[in-house]
């Protein structure tokens, strides 16, 4: 009984300590989103005053009307959706095959490639802007869907491969060996056994790939420029002038852009957690 009381005391102390650390961090992370949403519904005279205050004096939807009626915001959102879905579908298929090969294959250089995959993701995106722009331009794909989809696939591929590789390593090899005994080829084992078992990992990879594509700005800005295929981050950038930022519409547009990703995360947060913890069992 004494041991139980001690264990319970330690558990309670641990929870309190975690709360003391996490609550300020969560508040720090959430504060910009709350401030953005509140600013988007403030009356113009309040927002642009010297002291806009914390809470709006009244709810004013004027900034949202300016964004939705005065700009091609819906087109920007459709562009982001098309690019995000297309690049995610491609990168998940490629990452699943590459991750399975690195997790199960036995070939020279496998360890080096496995480590290099994650190292490639660590480098800043800006280092790859010019090489990717030159490549896409030489292929005649700049300014359209194919070019930016290709770039987003390259951008997301290293991390997605690493994520799938870690997840495939957690799956029992015995099930795959049983499939080979039954006459399945390596491709058959992957398609009919490994991929279905790795569904949580595939879902997590797809979610991360889509969110990265939805939020990516720099590569989209360079590849798409001011063309009609501009994605949402590039379209929102138009509210930043060379000298003055139009803060009201900017806050409204950014709030609208965050809502789909926030809804997606709330719907699939358990699957993300399951996929990440599953891939963390083995390194």
- More confident position, 106 or 214: 214
Which phi and psi (to 5°) does residue 240 adopt? -95, 105
Tokens 């975690």, residue? Answer: 18
- 3-class DSSP state for residue 245? strand
* Token pair belonging to 105: 């294959």
**160 near 207, Cβ under 8 Å?**
no
State yes or no: pLDDT of 6 exceeds 50.
Answer: no
| Residue 213, pLDDT above cutoff 70 | yes
pLDDT tens digits, one per residue of 219-261: 999 999 877 889 999 999 888 766 677 888 999 999 999 988 8
- How would you label 96-115 residue by residue, b for 16+ Cβ within 10 Å and e otherwise? bbbbbbbbbeeeeeeeebbe
Angstrom distance (rounded) from CA 220 to CA 253: 18
Kindly tell me the burial class for residue 11, based on how many C-beta atoms sit within 10 Å of its own C-beta (0-12, 13-18, 19 or more). exposed
Yes or no: say if 255 and 171 are a contact pair by the CB < 8 Å rule: no
- Beta partners for 245? 240
Name the phi and psi angles at 245, rounded to 5: -95, 135
CA distances from 40 to 47, 53, 63 (A): 9, 13, 7
Q: Which residue's structure tokens are 């496995």?
A: 114
- pLDDT of 283 above 50: no
Q: Are 213 and 152 in contact (CB under 8 A)?
A: yes
| Range in 36-40, 210-214, 272-276 the model is least confident about | 272-276
Report the C-alpha gap between 272 and 193 in whole angstroms.
Answer: 21
Query: How many other CB atoms are there within 10 angstroms of residue 168's CB atom?
Result: 25
Pick from 151, 124, 128: nearest CA to 139:
151
Rounded to 10°, the helix 110-122/145-168 angle is 130
pTM: 0.82
Question: Model confidence over 103-129: pLDDT tens digits?
Answer: 888 878 777 887 787 787 778 888 888
């Amino acid at each position: 009984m004494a041991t139980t009381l001690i264990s319970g005391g330690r558990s309670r102390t641990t929870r309190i300590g975690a709360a003391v650390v996490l609550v300020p961090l969560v508040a720090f992370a959430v504060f910009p989103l709350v401030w953005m949403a509140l600013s988007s519904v403030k009356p113009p005279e309040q927002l642009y005053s010297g002291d806009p205050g914390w809470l709006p004096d009244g709810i004013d939807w004027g900034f949202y009307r300016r964004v939705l009626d005065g700009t091609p915001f819906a087109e920007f959102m459709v562009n982001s959706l098309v690019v995000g879905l297309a690049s995610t579908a491609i990168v998940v298929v490629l990452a699943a095959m590459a991750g399975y090969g690195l997790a199960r294959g036995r070939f020279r250089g496998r360890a080096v490639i496995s480590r290099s995959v994650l190292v490639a993701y660590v480098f800043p995106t800006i280092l790859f802007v010019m090489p990717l722009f030159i490549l896409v331009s030489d292929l005649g794909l700049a300014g359209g869907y194919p070019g930016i989809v290709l770039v987003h696939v390259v951008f997301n591929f290293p991390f997605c491969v690493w994520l799938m590789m870690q997840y495939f390593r957690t799956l029992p090899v015995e099930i795959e060996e049983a499939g080979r005994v039954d006459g399945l080829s390596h491709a058959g084992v992957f398609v009919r056994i490994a991929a279905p078992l790795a569904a949580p990992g595939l879902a997590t990879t797809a979610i991360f790939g889509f969110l990265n594509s939805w939020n990516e700005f720099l590569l989209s800005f360079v590849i798409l420029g001011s063309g009609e295929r501009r994605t949402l981050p590039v379209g929102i950038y138009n509210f930043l002038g060379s000298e003055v930022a139009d803060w009201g519409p900017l806050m409204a547009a950014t709030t609208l852009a965050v809502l789909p990703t926030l809804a997606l995360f709330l719907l699939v947060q358990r699957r993300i957690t399951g996929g990440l913890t599953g891939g963390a069992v083995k390194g």
